[in-house]
Chains A and B, each alone.
Chain A
Amino acid sequence: MKFINITLYNFSSFYKQHSIEFHTKTEYPVSIIVGGSGFGKTSIFDAINWALYGKEYENILRIQYQKDILDYVNETALKEALPENKAVEMSSTLLFEHEEKRYRVQQAICVRNNNGRLYITDRTTNLYDIHSNGNWTEISFIESFLNAILPNNVRDYFLFNGDRINQLSMPGASKYIQEGIYHVVDLEILQSGIDHLEFIAKKYRKLAKNNSTGVVADIEEKYSNAREELDRLESIISQQNDELMALENNIEIVEAKLREMSEVKDLQAKRDALKREYDIELKNFNKITSDLRNATSIAIMDIILPTLLDLRDELNNKRSKGEIPSKISESLLKDILELRKCICGTEFEEGDSIYQELTRRLENEVNKRDQGNDLLELYFELNSTIDEIERSKNQVINLELERTKIDQKIKEINRELNFIMEKLKDKPEEEIKQLVNKLEEYRQSHDNIILDINDNKHYKDKVESEIRKLQVKREEQGKIQDNVRQFQLRDDLAQQSADELARIFKQFIDESREEIQSLTREEFVRFIPTVSNLNVAISPEFHYDVRDQYGRPALQQLSNGQRQALSLAYITAISRVSEKNPPLVIDMPFGRLDEDVQENIAERLPNLASQVILLMLPGAEWNDKTREILYQKTADIYNLDFDPENRQSSIRKEK
């Protein structure tokens, strides 16, 4: 997808018609629009979004920015229309190319003033396929057509403003990060598949229930209820996990505020240090617990050590007597068969009865030799098994001692953390008190919700266990009623397919998350080379997890500029993974960035997409340095002018 031009008509501060052409090509992928605050940069950004997403974007404006589309109707046009109560037209028209074809999408509204209140009298949305001979055809299903090119849910990752970057760098961004990963990699198709299969499973379950009688009906009823209960629990657990995530975000926000307050900076720093220590000890504890489990599964064999020793002694006995492996009889029989003469002196010929009997005995001896060899091998293996059990047993003893020590240490750290919390609470400043109380409140809710989740998970285990039992009964009893069994089988098949698809879905999410994580890390270091000692990860819960070289959490230590660079790195990663290759439109890309970071990002921006449209502030963003870097890659530069007297913006082409 590539934008060709955008035309605004009575849109915001742009009175009558104004157009911007985008002449970007491979060598010059960038178009730049420069304007001061209030000059209409964001209006152009909104106009592009409105042209593409119409009412959906109006909803976003309403919810996220508390703005109504009527607020965008040009003031001068309205004033002119007022005496004769004429309707005012406002529109935004975007011409774009997609897969070698050209399209024109337009949103237009007509507005009238009724006693100081504006209302829409007419609305049109058009999408045309423009043919190379100048003809055009109208496309009816605009929404689905545009959604196929650039779905609304990924819009935020290609058309984004400074606020968005800021949001992504704030604590609590996990929800946005998760949304990005879910949406951009097109997983809705899989989710729809799961939903569809679950719907089918439910349908057949219902049919099985309605068609069954007697004992079968009873089991079907129970099975259906258990399945519903499982769905309910999964939904509750998912909601509780979201709540947990939100609480963790809130905790992080309060902690960050406390960190910035000079009165408690020292105490908060001490808390941070203790929390880092706590995290390290907890990690050690988990590792030891896991090692302990591995060791116990071998060490438990120690309880039958006497049996192992008995067998080993028995085998050793046989070994010393030469019974294993036994080769004496075998050698003797071979010699006799070769000489064709028995020990008693009887001679025999190949094929006669003595020869056959001796051959049979030789075969038995060969078999015995194999067994003897195996027993001998068992003897040696038993020795190493006994050693391994002994070693594991000692390991269990040592690990348990270590675990107890770490457990004590964790309790000690907790005591110290509580002590600091008490000290924080004793501070006379009202604001601090409020923050600490808030923090405690969040932590309490956080702990409670973890308990609730655990309870629900245990309950879920029980329900799952009940379902497995009922499945066995279902299969047995289903044989009584063949028609019911058919529905049961279809239900099972659909449910199993849904479960398998859900497993693949999760795997896909994990893989996508890891890919985005790796690209985010790569871009982040490109933007700010000095952070190469930091390890950036996106946790399975979709939090940024930034660690220093010692593995300590370091997200809070990032400056505002670094955080923004991190968000930009994430957005860049998303656009690279998505493979949708739409234009990248960024309103105020360098908002809060330090100069050196600006330079690094400016270097990278032209490579991020085949068309990059940047809306920048003069000075803070568009300055000598960024101009020097971007100029060579830029196709167009537009300057926005603003006349404060009649409050109108205009567009001037510089390059």
Chain B
Amino acid sequence: MAKLDFSNLRVYIDDSNHYKYIELTKSQENQSGDKQSQAEDVPFMKMPDLFVAAACVGAKYDNYKEPTKKKDIFLAAAFDQKTQIPVLISLAYKKLGTTENLLEPRQILKICEGWANGGFSNLYDILIEGKGLRPLYRLVDYIINEQQNE
């Protein structure tokens, strides 16, 4: 979809979740003897990864909630073209129910911001209170369980 231009668009989340976004993506200094801690406790490499995951969880539980106090966190150009953009379009499709004017970047983002905002609290619960000792393993456990329940 070479013509979909996300280059100048910014992605917004609810300001109240901003610190949690930082917490879950923050790159920490390694320290001797505990070098895996970063990946184990910080389950997302980048904010776009966390945003897409939150949007997926929101859509999964049909939890759509547009941000009230918006805070921009990254440029939409940071999304991965091969996986994340098609998924975001699919999430917009879920909300619109039609392919008519589906490929409008601003609209796609706006809808996904609603899914991500709705799903963020669910995702946060999974990561912080799920099964397993560390957030990354809780996420892994969730993915594997969901796959088994399919």
Contact = CB atoms under 8 A, between A and B. Distances in A.
Given A311-B93, A388-B83, A393-B147, A304 B60 contact: yes
Contacts of B29: 457
A469 B19 contact: yes
A479 interface: no
A241 B29 CA distance: 12
A308 B87 contact: yes
Nearest to B53: A300
A315 B99 contact: yes
A396 interface: yes
Contact of B90 (A241, A311, A371): A311
Contact of A290 (B39, B59, B91, B94): B39
B148 to A, nearest CB: 10
Contacts of B147: 302, 393, 397
Contact of B83 (A293, A303, A304, A385): A385
A384 B31 CA distance: 39
A292 interface: yes
B11 interface: no
Nearest to A389: B83
A303 B37 CA distance: 26
Contact of B23 (A308, A378, A382, A465): A465
A307 B91 contact: yes
B36 A289 contact: yes
A301 interface: yes
Given A300-B143, A304-B56, A378-B86, A454 B44 contact: no
Nearest to B148: A397
B109 interface: no
Interface in A18-36: none
Contact of A375 (B23, B34, B103): B103
Nearest to B29: A457
Contacts of B144: 396-397, 400
**Chief secondary structure at chain B's binding surface:** helix
Contact of B49 (A297, A303, A469): A297
Contacts of A454: 31, 34, 37
Contacts of A370: 3
A311 B82 contact: no
B146 to A, nearest CB: 5
Contact of B1 (A290, A378, A400): A378
Contacts of A102: none
Interface size class of A (residues with CB under 8 A): 35 or more
A541 to B, nearest CB: 6
Nearest to A468: B19
Interface string A435-463: 00000000000100010011001000100
Interface string A368-387: 00110011011001101100
Interface in B80-114: 82-83, 85-87, 89-91, 93-94, 99, 102-103
B140 A396 contact: yes
A296 B43 contact: yes
Interface string A307-323: 11011001100100000
Interface in B1-40: 1-4, 19, 22-23, 26, 28-29, 31-37, 39-40
Given A302-B143, A375-B103, A286 B82 contact: no
Contact of B59 (A241, A307, A400): A307
B116 interface: no
A389 B56 CA distance: 13
A252 to B, nearest CB: 13
Nearest to A541: B32
Contacts of B87: 301, 304, 308, 385
A290 B32 CA distance: 17
Contacts of A304: 56, 59-60, 87, 90-91, 94
Contacts of A299: 143
A130 to B, nearest CB: 52
B82 A388 contact: yes
Nearest to A375: B99
Contact of B31 (A301, A381, A453, A469): A453
B82 A289 contact: no
A301 B1 CA distance: 20
B45 A294 contact: yes
A285 interface: yes
A393 B143 contact: yes
Contacts of A58: none
A381 B2 CA distance: 11
A95 B85 CA distance: 73
A153 B102 CA distance: 67
Contact of A303 (B28, B82, B146): B146
A388 B86 CA distance: 12
B139 interface: yes
Contact of A293 (B2, B23, B39, B57): B39
B36 to A, nearest CB: 5
8 contacts: A290-B39, A296-B136, A297-B53, A370-B3, A374-B1, A381-B1, A454-B31, A454-B37
Interface of A: 241, 244, 248, 282, 285-286, 289-290, 292-294, 296-305, 307-308, 310-311, 314-315, 318, 370-371, 374-375, 377-378, 381-382, 384-385, 388-389, 393, 396-397, 400, 446, 450, 453-454, 457, 461, 465, 468-469, 541
> Top 3 A-B pairs ranked by shortest CB distance?
A297-B49, A385-B86, A289-B39
